[in-house]
Amino acid sequence: MIRKIISGLVLSLVACALLTAGGAGDTTDDGTTRIGISKIVAHPALDAVEKGVQDELAARGITAVYDLQNANGDVNTATQIATKFKRDKVDVIVAIATPMAVSAANSVRDIPVVFSVVTDPVSAGLVPNLSKGEGNVTGLSDKTDIYAHLELFKRIAGIKTLGHIFTSSEANSAAALAELEDACKKLSIELVVQSINNSSEVKQATEAIIRRVDGIYLTTDNTVYSALPALVEVALSQKKPVFSSDPTSAIEGGCVIASGFDYYKAGRATGVMVADILGGKNPDSMPTKFLTDPSEQNLLLDLDAAKICGITLPADLVKSANQVIENGKLTTR
């Protein structure tokens, strides 16, 4: 009997410990806030957003316990993560990239959801318009100027036929494709597209179109960027340039030009929104945030990749770049 009583006490203590550790929504005795951060895949840009959020909150003196989750490109896992955050009652959910944001918004109604680096939150059904949130949902967009990118690519590399690889299941990629098609039409560029379902198909997709195009343009497609090294390897083997909309993912080299947001700064800006909500602001009243300051943009040039492709980058463009890769070395200015 004594043994049974002791065993029961031990089990009760273990259960209490597990409940205390798992109850991510319960504020700790010292006032710690619990925040769930989810990303669709691990790659440099999304990792930078994740870090930026945490650094911004720390800089504001906000002590938080973070539950960091990665869906590894699986939409079903994204839904499971959102459900976990709901069950754990975290104080705020930060959903990085469109699939995570959609899963969180659809699964959670009573916890603030802050999406980050979602290209088109309206088309994704996250908010009704860009001037306000939707219930418990608001966030930050990483929409880029595709027309300006193509105009530069055409001028620098003489692009007449452009290749594009995108993930058919990502709403942001579909929205970007429509804008890309419009920009190509205006610039008299023929567009060749190849869709993929997961990152393991990126290399094969690149091989399927690389001999038919003058270069490849990448929008903010997280699945594609998670396999970027394989893509640029194929492209450079055929001396075809790659233009990336994500400078953060291009720091390992291979993209002749990468222009877009500084994703770490996007994370910091997302952190500001989280802090505002923790301070009592209603997500419904918060408009979608954009990074519009020039200091929040990056231009990365890979002179080594340009040389392989037989492209001479103008001196003024090189001078304006925030980051330059030359002789295998990355220099940040």
Higher-confidence position of 119 and 191: 191
Helix, strand, coil fractions of the chain, as percent rounded to 5: 45, 20, 30
Q: Is residue 317 part of a domain?
A: yes
Q: Is residue 17 part of a domain?
A: no
The rounded percent of the chain whose pLDDT value lies above 90 is 81
* Same domain membership, residue 226 and residue 308: yes
Q: Confirm if 34 and 64 have CB atoms less than 8 A apart.
A: yes
* Same domain membership, residue 182 and residue 66: no
Q: Is residue 2 part of a domain?
A: no
| C-alpha count within 13 angstroms, C-beta hemisphere, residue 127 | 27
210-224 mean pLDDT: 95
* Same domain membership, residue 116 and residue 192: no
Match 């059904």 to its residue by tokens: 125
Query: Model's pTM, two decimal places?
Result: 0.78
Q: Write down the pLDDT at residue 293.
A: 82
SS3 100: helix
Identify the domain containing residue 105 by its residue range. Answer: 30-143+263-294
* Same domain membership, residue 252 and residue 210: yes
Q: Is residue 213 part of a domain?
A: yes
Q: Is residue 200 part of a domain?
A: yes
* Same domain membership, residue 270 and residue 207: no
* Same domain membership, residue 255 and residue 279: no
* Number of domains present in the structure of the chain: 2
Q: Write down the pLDDT at residue 30.
A: 52
Q: Is residue 23 part of a domain?
A: no
Q: Is the dihedral of CA 287, 277, 44, 70 positive or negative?
A: negative
Q: Is residue 1 part of a domain?
A: no
Q: Is residue 66 part of a domain?
A: yes
Is pLDDT at 309 greater than 90 in this prediction? yes
Q: Write down the pLDDT at residue 11.
A: 36
pLDDT per position as a tens digit, 126-149: 999 999 999 999 999 998 899 999
* Same domain membership, residue 304 and residue 281: no
Match 């220099």 to its residue by tokens: 331
Q: Confirm if 103 and 76 have CB atoms less than 8 A apart.
A: no
48-68 mean pLDDT: 97
CATH number for 283: 3.40.50.2300
CA dist 183 and 178 (Å) reads: 9
* Same domain membership, residue 73 and residue 135: yes
* Same domain membership, residue 153 and residue 288: no
CA dist 108 and 124 (Å) reads: 16
Non-local (6+) Cβ contacts of 316 within 8 A are none
CA dist 123 and 288 (Å) reads: 13
* Same domain membership, residue 317 and residue 228: yes
Residue among 144, 178, 167 nearest 224 (CA): 167
